[in-house]
Amino acid sequence: MTGYEAKKEEALKRMKKLGVFSGIIDAFSKRGEVLQSEPPFGACYTLSEEQAERVKEFEKEHDALVYHVIHEFTNFGELENFLYVSNYPDEWGLDHVDIRDERAVAYAYNVDGGFADMGSIGIELTSAGGLKRTW
């Protein structure tokens, strides 16, 4: 189990490793603001109040820290993919291996269906400095 500051430091390491735009990292570092990458180019925007509330609920339920959201529209619904740091530091090394291999464990919330699932997703840096889900 670990505290907020350790998770925040870990989140910043991951964001740098992912290569996201420095403004995204600054927003999180200085204000604790979680931004989302939007389709089609992965440009980043502020979360709506409703989205921010879902992030807070997830963080509270899982004692995790969300550092970025990948928003997308699929043939099975509108998804919000929460990239997060778990409360288990012994897992963080494996998370770095995943990032190196362009994947991450994420919480995917289906806005249209109201259901969610945790699992690995493929991720890739976009030309706009955000992220997109590849699988």
- How is the chain split into domains, by residue range? 4-133
Neighbouring-strand partners of residue 80: 71, 109
| Residue written as token pair 């409360």 | 87
Average pLDDT estimate for 10-21: 98
pLDDT of residue 2 exceeding 90, the answer is: no
pLDDT of residue 1 exceeding 90, the answer is: no
pLDDT digits (tens, 9 = 90+) for 72-115: 999 989 999 999 999 999 999 999 999 999 999 999 999 998 89
Predicted TM-score (pTM) of the model is 0.96
pLDDT digits (tens, 9 = 90+) for 116-128: 999 999 999 999 9
Return the pLDDT at 105: 96
Residues 41, 104, 59, CA angle at the centre, nearest 5°? 95
pLDDT digits (tens, 9 = 90+) for 29-75: 999 999 999 998 999 999 999 999 999 999 999 999 999 999 999 99
Return the pLDDT at 12: 98
Tell me the chain's radius of gyration from C-alpha atoms. 13
Nearest Cα residue to 69 out of 44, 100, 94, 41: 44
